[in-house]
Structure 1
């Protein structure tokens, strides 16, 4: 009320505050984070997701170890599998593993080359016995907790590599299985980097191209990311010449002949540095939902007509949506073609 007294009377202030409280009291309690929306996968009627994962995991372990009965399984494998299955069930991720197991199985059954597994998922014995990965974590001493543990509340993340020429077949499979309204690819945003924004703003202000190019070249690039403009004009600047230009130099507009201080140019560029410039499609990310996606997130079509989300990856995970990485790997394609050529050559020799 004190803040408004310099330009509003007491009665108006009182009414405004009462209206604010009235609106606030009408807002129902809600949570921004969503519960995990893992799609439902068909399972045998006598099973739940937990019991089905358990059954196929023990069968898979017998096959991996070439054992006929559980009695032949070494205790270290038994204990590890029991522990992992217990964790999956406690955290409610049995259905997640079934979804991944199903599409990896489809790829193997249809001669679509699949990678051996990457990242922390290689530490899961369940992933190994379900043939999601081909790395024995017990033999190699890999930790399951690096992949999943009760302290980590986020969804598990299994990245899958597929032959780059057959990746679209995998997306088509999950789209047909779960419904086109529940599957979409994920948007990415290309942001205005310091180098790009400096040139763009310079062009608008009529800064000579040579000067804009010289200034942009002073910005160092580390791991593909140009240094930020605020750092370039700070006391910790990696290029003193850039800072000196900022503080002392005046440019002449190439068209009008008016003076444009470099300080004004860079200050304007800083204001829009990091904003989204264009969008694209994530190279690997596919979201699969238990509910129609248009009820949860805004959607659009890209230039090729594929449906993509208008929320980027981190926001989708925040809402509890299941994000799968279907990575297209050229090496798998090369290896498969090599095997095919060898088979063809052998047939010719015979």
Structure 2
């Protein structure tokens, strides 16, 4: 069974057959199908949403999208409307809609096709007018348009950066702007530009290298194969503290770097220190050899009391210490 042609008009003959297994009877039935006017049709493929560059001219071919089974295209009336008067015009001779907008934004263009019987079809084209299209940086788990890598981001280094295209936009006129800024001070100290996707060196802090709090900002501008300007947001990559830092012991100097004069001063200082230590040792030794002269002596045996007994106001402890002096008449 063939597919039904919904647009058929004219005479159609249908043959009906009946069989009892032995004989067959056929009857032809003729149908006269009158033409019923159908409205024009608009194929929206490729014109549902269009991205246009601000200031550039965009054209759409109406005959490529509008058709009518009952009429030739030349018999149709085409009407093109837009909110911004004059931004879209239709040429009946060529069948082209020419559009242009100078400012970015969203525009709507309405196409209406009307046949001689008054039947019509309408389609609205959404036009996204842009100054430039974005270039997305590759991020964790997200496929971007471009990527950036550095051979190092350690402190005190001037990294070599490489920017690569990841998609098939066919980017040309590539301009990469870089700058070195400090997140602690908010000051950008260095900036420069590179062209194309070749590696380039970032001279940080006038060649001294990255410092604590520094980051490298990259921005890419290019033109794709469709003629659209493309621009990325700034990608920030922060400086890192080196993982391995070799340090010399504090105070250790290279003996070969000492001059004869400094060696002489060191020797003289050492000799003076030894002399001072020797003199101090003699003084200490002499002091240790001097006999002590105590003002009071503690006798081994208890001192006997005088016949009159313990002096008035004395204690036995005082008597043991100073009793001998009392007996000598010194107290």
Provide the TM-score with structure 1 as the length reference: 0.22
Higher helix fraction (1 or 2)? 1
Higher relative contact order (CA 8 A, sep 6+): 1
Greater strand proportion:
2
